[in-house]
Structures are given as C-alpha cells and as structure tokens.
C-alpha cells in the first residue's frame, strides 16, 4: 500500500485529491492538511511514501516545506501540485519526483502512482533511494509544457525556437513544446550556441547543416535531424555570417 499525505490551502483541492485517490486500490491517504506546519510536525510519525504539496501557501512556501520534509524523511517522494509552471525548475533542483499542473486528473495521478510503485519495487531490489538531483545538473535544462505536465529538456538537444501569436515554441528532434519564456529570454538562457537569425527565430548553430542564399541578402537555414527551414532575415544575416565564417 502506497501511503500519501496532501498539503494545500484550498480545501476543495484537498477534497478533490481525496476523492481521486480513493479510486486506487493500492493507495491510502493518511493525512490531509491546509497548513504545512502541522504536516511537518507529524510527517515523521506518519512516514508516508508520497507527499503532494501546493507551492504558494501563506504559512510556509511549498518549496521550503518540501525541503524540510525531505530532511526528515530522505526517502519520501515529493510531488508538487500547482497552477504555475514557473517553479518547476526549482522544484526539480530540490529533488521533486513529479510536478503536476492543477487540476490533478485521475489519469495524471494514475501515471504518478505507477511510477512511484515501480520506483519502490526497484528500491526494494537494489536498495537505492529516490534520486535527489544536484542543482548544477539542472542548469543544462529548461522547462516546457506538455499537456498537464512539465517536461525538462536538455538545452543541447534544442534545434531551434520560434515565436508567433504571442507564444514561444521549442523544437527538438522528436517534437515541439510550448514554453513560458519569450524569445528574448531564451536568447540569454541558451547562450552561447544559439543565435537570433530572425525576429521570430532562434537557432542552435551546432545543428546547422546548410545555408542557402535567398533574395535581398536573406538566407534559409536547414538543420540536421529536421526538415524545418529557418529564415535568416537581412537584419541578422551579418551576425550569422560572422559566427559561421562564410
């Protein structure tokens, strides 16, 4: 039986989690709190496998709370449930096992429970602890959105980024993801191998396969592992030529 505790200021959210978790035969909800402080006082005695916590709470920030909880129970699986994706990277730096966007659906929690169950079984066999990542490792990643989940993508795997209709998308070899950053922010985050080649495009020069001249001092960039054709506008052509020495 996988033991859960839940912490959220919103009583409706706690009730929703309670009702959803009831639907799983291998799950037992052993504690539900609107305030993280009593949860912190009781967590050692309860000894849950999984802690599901909101982040923005008045008595104590959920990130701080989870960090304290993990110091008491190093083997606990920390799961953040929130309306905001902007805390995802910090959450994973702290060693979060999962990061779920509200509202938590039965389908999404089912995926979580399967992962926890598999991890517990693996620990029993190999006597390993849940992964507590080193924060420096996550400096090589950015967070993007995928349905109701937050996905970590290695910066080096990004082919290019595109902004249109007030949305920014990140393209990798096996897909496209929306992210919360503007193209200007990504330009700073993804240095030094990403260059602005157009007002709406940022390209990873390590994947450049071919550059074809077009009209009026503009170009088209073709990439390895992609059929995309990335435009190079006249305003950015000089910078691209200087960097790639052509």
- Sheet with 219-223, strands from edge to edge, namely 208-213, 219-223, 229-232
CATH value at residue 196: 2.40.50.1020
Residue 182 contacts residue 163 (beta carbons within 8 Å): yes
Same domain, 117 and 157: no
Q: Does residue 136 have a pLDDT over 90? A: no
| Strongest mean pLDDT among 35-44, 78-87, 179-188 | 35-44
**pLDDT reported for residue 143:** 84
Please indicate, yes or no, whether residues 165 and 63 belong to a single structural domain of this protein: no
**Assigned token pair, 36:** 């993280």
pTM of the model: 0.63
Whether the pLDDT of residue 20 is over 60: the answer is yes
Q: What is the CATH number of the domain that holds 104?
A: 3.40.50.2300
Tell me, yes or no, whether 173 and 120 share the same domain: no
Exposed, middle or buried by CB within 10 Å (0-12, 13-18, 19+), for 211?
middle
Task: Please give the residue range of the domain that contains residue 101.
Answer: 2-126
The percent of residues above 90 in pLDDT, for the chain, comes to 58
Structure tokens at 75: 């083997």
Domain annotation covers residue 144: no
The C-alpha atoms of residue 170 and residue 179 are separated, in whole angstroms, by 7
Flag whether 206 is in a domain.
Answer: yes
Query: How many of the other CB atoms lie within 10 Å of CB of 195?
Result: 22
Residue 231 located in a structural domain: yes
Q: Are strands 158-164 and 167-172 parallel, antiparallel or unpaired?
A: antiparallel
Residue 214 CA, distance from chain mean position: 38
CB atoms < 10 A from the CB of 164, how many? 10
Residue 118 sits in the same domain as residue 169: no
Domain count, the chain: 2
The predicted structure's pLDDT at residue 40:
94
- Average pLDDT score over residue span 132-144: 65
Evaluate whether residue 133 is within a structural domain. no
Q: Provide the percentage of residues in the chain whose pLDDT is more than 70.
A: 93
Mean per-residue pLDDT for 176-186? 89
Q: Please give the structure tokens belonging to residue 58.
A: 């008045």
The whole-number average pLDDT for the span 27-44 is 96
Helix (H, G, I), strand (E, B) or coil at 131: coil
Kindly state the greatest CA–CA separation across the chain. 72
Rounded mean pLDDT, 25-29: 95
User: Is 147 part of a structural domain of the chain?
Assistant: no
pLDDT band for 134, please (50, 70, 90 cuts).
very low
Mean pLDDT, rounded, for 197-215:
93
Q: Residue 6: is it exposed, middle or buried by C-beta count within 10 angstroms (0-12/13-18/19+)?
A: buried
* Residues 113 and 165 both lie in one domain: no
The position carrying tokens 């990335």 is: 230
Hey, what are 242's tokens? 């200087």
Co-location of 172 and 122 in the same domain: no
Strands 158-164 and 201-204: antiparallel
Note the pLDDT tens digit of each residue in 51-110. Answer: 999 999 988 999 999 999 999 999 899 999 999 888 888 888 888 889 999 989 999 999
Kindly state whether residues 62 and 163 are assigned to the same domain. no
The enclosing H or E element of 29 equals strand 27-33
HSE-CB of 24 using CA atoms within 13 angstroms: 23
Residue 217 has pLDDT above 60, yes or no: yes
* 105 vs 103: CA distance, rounded Å: 6
């Amino acid at each position: 039986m996988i033991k859960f505790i839940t912490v959220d200021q919103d009583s409706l959210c706690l009730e929703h989690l309670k009702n959803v978790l009831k639907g799983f035969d291998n799950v037992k909800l052993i504690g539900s709190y609107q305030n993280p402080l009593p949860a912190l006082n009781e967590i050692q005695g309860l000894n849950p496998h999984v802690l599901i916590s909101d982040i923005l709470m008045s008595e104590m920030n959920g990130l701080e709370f989870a960090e304290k909880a993990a110091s008491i129970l190093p083997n606990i699986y920390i799961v953040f449930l929130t309306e905001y994706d902007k805390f995802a990277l910090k959450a994973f730096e702290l060693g979060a096992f999962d990061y779920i966007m509200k509202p938590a659906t039965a389908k999404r929690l089912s995926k979580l429970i399967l992962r926890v169950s598999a991890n517990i079984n693996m620990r029993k066999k190999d006597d390993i602890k849940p992964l507590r990542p080193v924060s420096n490792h996550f400096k090589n990643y950015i967070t993007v959105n995928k349905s109701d989940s937050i996905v970590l993508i290695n910066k080096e795997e990004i082919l290019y980024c595109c902004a249109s209709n007030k949305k920014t998308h990140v393209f990798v070899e096996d897909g496209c993801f929306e992210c919360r950053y503007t193209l200007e922010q990504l330009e700073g985050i993804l240095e030094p191998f990403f260059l602005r080649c157009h007002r709406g495009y940022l390209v990873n020069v390590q994947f450049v396969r071919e550059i074809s001249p077009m009209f009026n001092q503009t170009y088209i960039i073709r990439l390895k592992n992609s059929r995309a054709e990335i435009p190079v506008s006249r305003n950015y052509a000089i910078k691209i030529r200087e960097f790639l020495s052509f």
